[in-house]
């Protein structure tokens, strides 16, 4: 998985390992965090690999390492992501550099990861790619205009790839609302509480809420592909 060193990725790694998977925790700059995640996983055979979303060559090297160690990939979780909090009316604040960075990590990176691991996924004959998306893809409300647009692009890309790479690979997006991870720089706890209060179920989501949805998509929803699973306490209503 990409982005496995913290937050949703780390929680998902734990759930998958608990279910019996051999987990490869991909990281960008958080090698020590990734190693700490692996050390706490149940089972054995887990490892870490650098998987920077900006670097397609490095992703290909990661795929080669996984092929040597495991021979195939049954589950690929694209959990790596980035954002920057910019008010939607502040068009000048959303610079080209910020926009491009968000798209490189949130859209091009997941595509490059699927491209790098395609042969290993196809070798499984029953593989699933889970993209960690957001309800911002459909609501257009989130940390920045670019973030919302990037998650919409991720969902659309998942639908395209679900058609193109069927029947051996399924694609599912898991789409939470705000999750208590520290993902959005500068977002205070009171903002999360306000977010939860505005949702019908009035619950602050934690990373494990998303992780169990990922596990369900992998283990139980065998006919789900090219679709989104919303995990938002009804925030979209």
Question: pLDDT for 86-115, tens place per residue?
Answer: 999 999 999 999 999 999 999 999 999 999
Tokens standing for residue 3: 């982005």
What confidence score (pLDDT) does residue 188 get?
60
Domain range enclosing 204:
7-231
Tokens standing for residue 48: 């870490």
Residue length of the chain: 237
CATH number at residue 206: 3.40.50.720
- Let me know if residue 215 belongs to a domain: yes
- Let me know if residue 1 belongs to a domain: no
Residue 163 has pLDDT above 80, yes or no: yes
Residue 134: which of 175, 106, 100, 165 has the closest Cα? 175
Mean pLDDT along residues 9-34: 96
| 222 Cβ neighbours under 8 A, 6+ residues apart | 170
What confidence score (pLDDT) does residue 181 get?
65
Residue 109: which of 136, 76, 75 has the closest Cα? 76
What confidence score (pLDDT) does residue 206 get?
87
Q: Please, which pLDDT band fits residue 155 given cuts at 50, 70 and 90?
A: very high
Per-residue pLDDT reduced to its tens digit, 165-199:
999 999 999 999 877 766 656 556 666 677 677 77
Q: DSSP H helical segments within 134-179, as ranges?
A: 136-139, 145-164
Q: Cα–Cα distance between 47 and 59 in angstroms, integer?
A: 15
- Let me know if residue 236 belongs to a domain: no
Number of domains composing the chain? 1
The three-class DSSP label of residue 80 is: coil
- Let me know if residue 237 belongs to a domain: no
How high does pLDDT run on average in the chain?
Answer: 93
Residue 152 has pLDDT above 80, yes or no: yes
- Catalytic annotation on 103? no
Tokens standing for residue 110: 């997941």
pTM score, two decimals? 0.92
- Higher-confidence residue of 191 and 20: namely 20
What confidence score (pLDDT) does residue 199 get?
79
- Let me know if residue 112 belongs to a domain: yes
- Let me know if residue 37 belongs to a domain: yes
Catalytic hit among 27, 111, 147, 171: 147
């Amino acid at each position: 998985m990409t982005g496995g060193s913290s937050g949703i990725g780390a929680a998902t790694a734990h759930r998958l390992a608990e279910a019996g998977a051999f987990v490869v925790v991909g990281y960008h700059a958080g090698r020590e965090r990734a190693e700490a995640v692996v050390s706490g996983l149940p089972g054995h055979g887990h490892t870490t690999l650098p998987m920077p979303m900006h670097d397609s060559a490095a992703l290909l090297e990661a795929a080669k390492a996984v092929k040597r160690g495991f021979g195939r990939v049954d589950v690929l979780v694209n959990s790596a992501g980035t954002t920057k909090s910019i008010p939607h009316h502040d068009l000048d604040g959303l610079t080209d550099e910020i926009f491009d960075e968000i798209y490189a990590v949130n859209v091009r990176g997941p595509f490059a990861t699927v491209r790098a691991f395609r042969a290993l996924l196809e070798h499984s004959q029953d593989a699933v790619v889970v993209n960690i998306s957001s309800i911002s893809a459909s609501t257009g409300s989130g940390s920045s205009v670019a973030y919302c647009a990037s998650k919409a692009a991720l969902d659309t890309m998942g639908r395209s790839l679900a058609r193109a790479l069927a029947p051996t690979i399924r694609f599912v997006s898991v789409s939470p609302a705000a999750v208590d991870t520290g993902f959005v720089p500068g977002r205070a706890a009171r903002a999360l509480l306000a977010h939860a209060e505005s949702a019908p179920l009035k619950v602050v989501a934690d990373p494990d809420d998303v992780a169990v949805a990922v596990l369900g998509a992998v283990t139980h929803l065998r006919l789900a592909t090219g679709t989104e699973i919303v995990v938002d306490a009804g925030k979209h209503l």
